[in-house]
Amino acid sequence: MRAGTDARIVATMTKINVQTTSPSAPRSAAAPSSPDPWARAFAAIYEPSLWIGELTGMRGRRKELLRHARGRTVELGSGTGLNLAHYPEDLEELILTEPEAPMRKRLARKVRRRGRDAQVIGAPAERLPFDDDSVDTVVSTLVLCTVDSPDVALREIARVLRPDGQLLFIEHVRSESPRLAAWQDRLAGPWQRFAEGCRCNRATVELIQARGLEVDRLAHAKWRAVPAIVKPLVTGRARHRGDK
């Protein structure tokens, strides 16, 4: 095991219904401590702004994807907890990471209300506080578009996954339509500022494959009731075959 123990993340972890085991923490998991006013407002409007899209397909996609979660499961950027209801009850451990304090506060409340056995941690995708080869499933839903350094985040995912571990993902991506892709490029800057870092034109599947994760399930879809630039969706699974 790397230097460092669970004690190093006690200060950044909100434990909800603590299980008998906890994630080890070889790295810092510090989260932003002073969110700007828009970050707080965005957390408040996030679920209301998505509810039609959830009802018209996204909720079903989450449910179908997350039934495949197994073992020790880590979700990246859990937001306000839209995935929480869809995880299998027999997971070995469920750890929800969320670097933004306003989102994390709402997430912790939802975990308490549901009585779910889970841990909430303030950790960014680029610095996961887990040992190498220690996670069976990583979940990313509408997250890899927001990280500043997707290559670093994907390297972290590959590092923490056990051999034959899996990344389950739903991401909105760069459109295959040249016309829509051009609009994504034009509006990328304003959308990124509005949507707390979201890059609407990111080619996420290609980035996953470039990190050596083998995409063995992939489906394309459209996200309803959202702006056109974030409609193109992919859902799928990538396997970690053992190479770091």
The residues near 221 (Cβ < 8 Å, ≥ 6 apart) are 57, 61, 233, 234, 235
Pick the CATH number of 6-239 from 3.55.50.30, 3.40.50.12280, 3.40.50.150, 3.40.50.300: 3.40.50.150
**What pLDDT, in 10s, does the model give residues 44-93?**
878 878 888 888 899 999 999 999 999 999 999 999 999 999 999 999 99
pLDDT at 20 (0 to 100): 29
pLDDT digits (tens), the chain, 244 positions: 333 333 333 333 333 333 323 444 333 334 444 457 877 887 887 887 888 888 889 999 999 999 999 999 999 999 999 999 999 999 999 999 999 999 999 999 999 999 999 999 999 999 999 999 999 999 999 999 999 999 999 999 999 999 999 999 999 999 999 999 999 999 999 999 998 889 999 999 999 999 889 999 999 999 999 999 999 999 999 998 766 5
Q: Which two tokens stand for residue 217?
A: 């399930």
Q: Which helix (H) or strand (E) holds 187?
A: helix 178-194
**Residue type, position 53, single letter:** G
Q: How far apart are CA 211 and CA 215, in angstroms?
A: 11
pLDDT at 205 (0 to 100): 96
Nearest partner of 109 among 85, 82, 81, judged by Cα = 81
Q: Which two tokens stand for residue 25?
A: 């923490």
pLDDT at 151 (0 to 100): 95
Q: How far apart are CA 176 and CA 171, in angstroms?
A: 14
pLDDT at 46 (0 to 100): 80
DSSP for 130-186, please give it.
S-TT-EEEEEEES-TTT-S-HHHHHHHHHHHEEEEEEEEEEEE---SSHHHHHHHHH
Q: Where are the domains of the chain?
A: 6-239
Residues in the chain: 244
Q: How far apart are CA 2 and CA 24, in angstroms?
A: 9
Q: How far apart are CA 51 and CA 46, in angstroms?
A: 9
Give this prediction's pTM: 0.83
pLDDT at 51 (0 to 100): 83
pLDDT at 195 (0 to 100): 86
